[in-house]
Structure 1
């Protein structure tokens, strides 16, 4: 483990032991989905609104140079001075020179994450300027000496007792923990700052090319004071905030408050354009003076992203931070573990462009790819996909660590070696094995099996059982090629047997191409596209030769990789891309395929049962493949079972491939939340359609809820199939 990982591990441990942080984030994560859903109750078509935001922002980035020029021209024609800052140093130099030229001594600030991005306050104070944050959250963290932990709620990691203590120190009086009192104390303390300030610095939620105006969406009103009272107003706005017309502000104003804080609208919506007179005190008298407006269009990597066919997607972000609000990792540890200014998955991507790829590489593994953020993002940004693209970029630039590269190239990409090692593991695990699980490990490995048992490699893999479970089908309805994936083949071969049983009961002929290997997802997840291509080519060749009507997988991760990723891998190889697309269209996930066949046969009738079963949605299944109704239909129709829904059924179980092992300290709290919901459902059986989820949840059940059994949906269905 390198030093950077050790530092992140230390940060994670510290945050996991911070009861104040965990309590605040836990309460917010619980309340947020409810308040957001309520805020959208009167929106007739939420998806259409999200699509409107996406299309508008896509059009913006496609024409960013012209829009920026128009915005500059319109703002200039209304009296503003526009400066384009290539990077943070250029911005700071311009601003400090402006302060010296205009004899600025005191500055008030509001709503500017871009200034946090370049640590602007530090340089302004080093230049002898008095700088005061006026957003309540920003003021609090400035008193605490912290960085923002959230893009919208920067002080979410602190409680009222801590804040009262910071206030007491700053104001040199005892401040009680009463929130209204603290807000009033802050208002009183900051009032003089507004009145004495020579310059106000603000950000902007959007800049309108049509008229050179900026828009600010706030709840406190301080931004209006910052933009109106001082004689000089400076706006720092990134290129990604530009929009074409005032009409284009409407979808942002409809989604931003709802997604950020669950509000229908914020308390203040401010639009400002051009310069207006301002009252200043001269020789003891108030006189009217023309206000100066300076707009800094900030690049710092933004234009590079705009010109990248893949990463221009980040321009669809409206900075609502809803992706953080639903991220399983963020809601455990907060934003500070991400190191830079921007947190969560979107923060990792922004860090790559606005700071450095090196900083991205330190934090990218904290995205577990659950896609909850994609489901909720107003701009429909595919955050996990962009993170995988950046991982691939990192691998292209400086390769994988030697050990990882050796395993990928010589083991995962070589089926015979890989499978031989798995067979050897089945023998080597015997001293630690208890039934089908490993409950205890020795020495430094003990922590891996502390709170969850680990799955044992099966004595006999599924490929060795195929001949015994294959039946001769007269006049088969279809010819199915079964892609087992590593987990079903070597960890859960009984699931493979259940799949055969169910399909053969539907009069399907099933073949198992023995040359098949791993789908390549572990390699793809690490960014090694070249090794993934080798694996994909071999699998494509093997299943082309199978000459099947359908390729079926009982693992949604494998199905998603075949169906959506293989063709993309070969974007630069047209012949292989065509082959990948052609065979990808044949790939089906087990429950969706069987539900369709059962529907045709009239076998989806709901039945009464005494045994309660609940269902966990795999992330790849629901949000990757869009499959969630079909497994429920099958379970509801399974004789002897009563389907009951559990809370947060589609929330990640914390497995996420290697993440579940490498970051077990994060994986386990996520799993414990899932186990608590399973227990609360009062179900005797938890059904899943993903072998990786089965691996994770089974391990937790064994240690904490041994009375509850876990079954793949295929196993539930097979119980009612006669041999």
Structure 2
């Protein structure tokens, strides 16, 4: 990403290419099914924890393992060169080629060679580097770079490929897969025989043997490694593994996670030099640091080097599926690409990319190395904010307004009165007023052309609470209610519904008035200072309350208390122990109702309330591991659940993402969710997040106002009223 302007332009170009998004969505949907089938009968979580432990051991012992690998590789006849950066690595190969008079290098797929801009470096030196992987050859002919780590040409259609191949062979070709594959096979086969040098990457560098491992689907790596007289291994130092047994454990995860295959077509093990037409073959192993040692030393980001480059974080990313890899990443794409770009190319190259992440945690859920990719991106976003700022609007909103609880709440009250001229009755038939259009055209296009915006409630939940009568004579539990900004100021009816349900189950509710925003909007914008300040306010408020549990109807707020407060206050004496204590007794409302109170049994299995579909909020399912509980509660409340396609795909909200960061991307993601809801043919969609309610109520208001969006506890409260 050269400039902020070019980045924004690339987003617009991608969004204006609906065929691209459609293709990526089709692949993503098929991938999820194939991956699920591939892991059938296996414990994915246990497997990835084992892999994470192996890779962590490599990080700790990397210098020892590197020395062991070099010693064993050289003993087997290989020549090993350790390059501090990609330029040194390229220069080594150029000198080797010059020494041998080599003019053609046949290349197998190698992401580190993309990182090194290897082909251009060779071309400048008068050496032709020919890609032999089908996808890599396609993008080479197109003059592009890969848009995916495993499937480099996934962004291209067969018609485009036919045109490229036709120019290469000098005739018009039919865009049929078999025809195109036959052309590629014929053209590339001769390259192996003509090549002076063959170059491959390495999926594994085995320390105790000095050998390498290659995992491929086309077999071209074997030909590059064996046919030319000289084999160059171009690999990064983090590919080290202690033993072949460790590598085999990795191969159980890599193909399943990359493409949904049980096993890839070719797993190749090469150790040292091998005979070649009666001559001794040369093998040169070029090991590249290129920023990896710095990444290993970063406590906040070092887990990123557990990555095995399966590309799954792109396969499930709603942003990637909307705009593709040429926007959402540099050489490496999607979530892992943001992190690697920051360390390999510099933070300035990654500053816009850190803001491209919507924070849905899909990548973290499928990562085979158990990397919390979202958390690392948030850390980088903090660094970006520290160095480049976060903009005037967020600066004022977080630092000047949100920190000051009294000012914040006064401004919200004022907004509820000032908004009246631009609000209208909701078309969904409820009592809420909405903003259908904004007076400024440029804002209307991004904000309200495709969705209604909710109005601020005339009376916030915190102002309603003192007048709510609770008739619980001998409560089983007393819980503190963390309401969150969405339910407090936009949907206070969700809060009153929760109290009704809890009271019916013999639970008393207290509401600490000193509570404030959970701080996630500030933290997700890179403003750690404000996040810490708000964490302290809330920890103080709920510590004073002395309750049995803390309950929230917003999964993002639940994550904030359970995870972020603990992490942000870990180095603050006097606060860390309090934060931990609150974390231990904080639960999402659905989890508390079902797992602590057993609400689905106590409701008495009501019936006749109709069909609903359920949207899994990102931070509820992937942040709090809550997804069965809401469905059980809805079922017990008399609702029949009709599952929508990809129920856990992001709704596109992402807090300020959909308003300030990337409303265009957000719009496309929300469109996908609206389509999935409409295809189920129900009148109600339930969810457990006020943020998702803001997004989906607004989008449905424009697309289909006959479909109601409601929080699970609202539907439960209504069912109780009918009982």
TM-score w.r.t. the length of structure 2 is 0.95
| Partner SS state of residue 152, structure 1 | coil
Which residue number corresponds to residue 49 of structure 2? 51
Which residue number corresponds to residue 176 of structure 2? 178
| Partner SS state of residue 173, structure 1 | coil
Within the candidate set 408, 413, 421, 1:431 is matched to: 421
Deviations 1:508-545 (A, max 9, x none): 22222212110000011012111111111111111111
Which residue number corresponds to residue 543 of structure 2? 544
Deviations 1:242-276 (A, max 9, x none): 11000011122111111111212122111111001
Counterparts of 2:60 and 2:138, CA distance in 1: 39
C-alpha contact 2:313 2:362 (8 A) present in aligned 1 = yes
Aligned pairs for 1:575-586 within 5 A:
575-586=574-585
- The alignment's C-alpha RMSD in Å is 1.8
Counterparts of 2:721 and 2:190, CA distance in 1: 82
Deviations 1:651-706 (A, max 9, x none): 11111111112322111221122122222222221111100001111011111111
- 1:188 deviates by 1.4
| Partner SS state of residue 456, structure 2 | coil
C-alpha contact 1:480 1:552 (8 A) present in aligned 2 = yes
| Partner SS state of residue 574, structure 2 | helix
Worse-matched range after superposition: 474-483 or 595-604 = 595-604
Which residue number corresponds to residue 186 of structure 2? 188
Matched, 1:371 2:361: yes
Within the candidate set 428, 438, 443, 1:441 is matched to: 438
Worse-matched range after superposition: 389-398 or 62-71 = 389-398
Which residue number corresponds to residue 464 of structure 1? 463
Counterparts of 1:165 and 1:198, CA distance in 2: 30
C-alpha contact 1:115 1:236 (8 A) present in aligned 2 = yes
C-alpha contact 1:598 1:604 (8 A) present in aligned 2 = no
Which residue number corresponds to residue 412 of structure 1? 402
Aligned pairs for 1:566-605 within 5 A:
566-596=565-595, 598-599=597-598, 602-605=601-604
Aligned pairs for 1:454-603 within 5 A:
454-471=453-470, 473-596=472-595, 598-599=597-598, 602-603=601-602
Name structure 1 gaps, 5 residues minimum: 280-287
- 1:399 deviates by 4.5
Counterparts of 2:22 and 2:144, CA distance in 1: 19
Worse-matched range after superposition: 18-27 or 373-382 = 18-27
- 1:617 deviates by 0.9
| Partner SS state of residue 719, structure 1 | helix
C-alpha contact 2:207 2:243 (8 A) present in aligned 1 = yes
Counterparts of 2:206 and 2:359, CA distance in 1: 34
Cα gap change, 1:3/1:546 in structure 2, threshold over 3 Å: closer, same or farther? Answer: farther
C-alpha contact 1:612 1:682 (8 A) present in aligned 2 = no
Within the candidate set 184, 195, 215, 1:217 is matched to: 215
Which residue number corresponds to residue 295 of structure 1? 285
- 1:402 deviates by 4.6
Matched, 1:421 2:419: no
Which residue number corresponds to residue 33 of structure 1? 32
Deviations 1:626-673 (A, max 9, x none): 11111111100114x222222211111111111112322111221122
- 1:463 deviates by 1.4
Which residue number corresponds to residue 387 of structure 1? 377
Counterparts of 2:390 and 2:600, CA distance in 1: 50
Counterparts of 2:472 and 2:443, CA distance in 1: 48
| Partner SS state of residue 379, structure 1 | coil
Counterparts of 2:599 and 2:150, CA distance in 1: 50
Counterparts of 2:403 and 2:634, CA distance in 1: 37
Counterparts of 1:462 and 1:701, CA distance in 2: 24
Which residue number corresponds to residue 647 of structure 2? 649
Matched, 1:681 2:680: yes
Counterparts of 1:716 and 1:62, CA distance in 2: 52
C-alpha contact 1:470 1:500 (8 A) present in aligned 2 = no
Counterparts of 1:605 and 1:633, CA distance in 2: 12
Counterparts of 2:380 and 2:688, CA distance in 1: 29
Counterparts of 2:585 and 2:596, CA distance in 1: 16
Counterparts of 1:186 and 1:474, CA distance in 2: 78
Deviations 1:48-101 (A, max 9, x none): 222222221121112111111111111011111111111112112222122222
Worse-matched range after superposition: 88-97 or 697-706 = 88-97
Cα gap change, 1:579/1:239 in structure 2, threshold over 3 Å: closer, same or farther? Answer: same
C-alpha contact 1:391 1:527 (8 A) present in aligned 2 = yes
- 1:339 deviates by 5.1
Name structure 2 gaps, 5 residues minimum: 426-432
Which residue number corresponds to residue 73 of structure 1? 71
| Partner SS state of residue 347, structure 1 | helix
Counterparts of 1:26 and 1:551, CA distance in 2: 39
- 1:598 deviates by 4.4
Cα gap change, 1:73/1:464 in structure 2, threshold over 3 Å: closer, same or farther? Answer: same
Deviations 1:441-461 (A, max 9, x none): 122221110111111111111
Worse-matched range after superposition: 552-561 or 177-186 = 177-186
C-alpha contact 1:316 1:379 (8 A) present in aligned 2 = yes
Within the candidate set 265, 268, 293, 2:266 is matched to: 268
- 1:607 deviates by 3.6
Matched, 1:156 2:161: no
Within the candidate set 204, 214, 217, 1:206 is matched to: 204
Which residue number corresponds to residue 282 of structure 1? none
Deviations 1:336-357 (A, max 9, x none): 0135211101110111111111
Counterparts of 1:683 and 1:338, CA distance in 2: 35
Deviations 1:220-256 (A, max 9, x none): 1111111111111111111121110000111221111
Counterparts of 2:629 and 2:164, CA distance in 1: 54
- 1:424 deviates by 1.7
| Partner SS state of residue 509, structure 1 | strand
Cα gap change, 1:159/1:204 in structure 2, threshold over 3 Å: closer, same or farther? Answer: same
TM-score w.r.t. the length of structure 1 is 0.95
Deviations 1:576-615 (A, max 9, x none): 1111101222222111112235427941554432511121
Worse-matched range after superposition: 505-514 or 706-715 = 505-514
| Partner SS state of residue 31, structure 2 | helix
Counterparts of 1:609 and 1:721, CA distance in 2: 13
Worse-matched range after superposition: 589-598 or 121-130 = 589-598
Counterparts of 2:596 and 2:217, CA distance in 1: 54
Counterparts of 2:460 and 2:18, CA distance in 1: 45
Counterparts of 2:558 and 2:329, CA distance in 1: 35
Which residue number corresponds to residue 357 of structure 1? 347
Counterparts of 2:59 and 2:679, CA distance in 1: 47
C-alpha contact 1:481 1:543 (8 A) present in aligned 2 = yes
Which residue number corresponds to residue 249 of structure 2? 251
Matched, 1:671 2:670: yes
How many residues are aligned here?
712
Counterparts of 1:208 and 1:441, CA distance in 2: 61
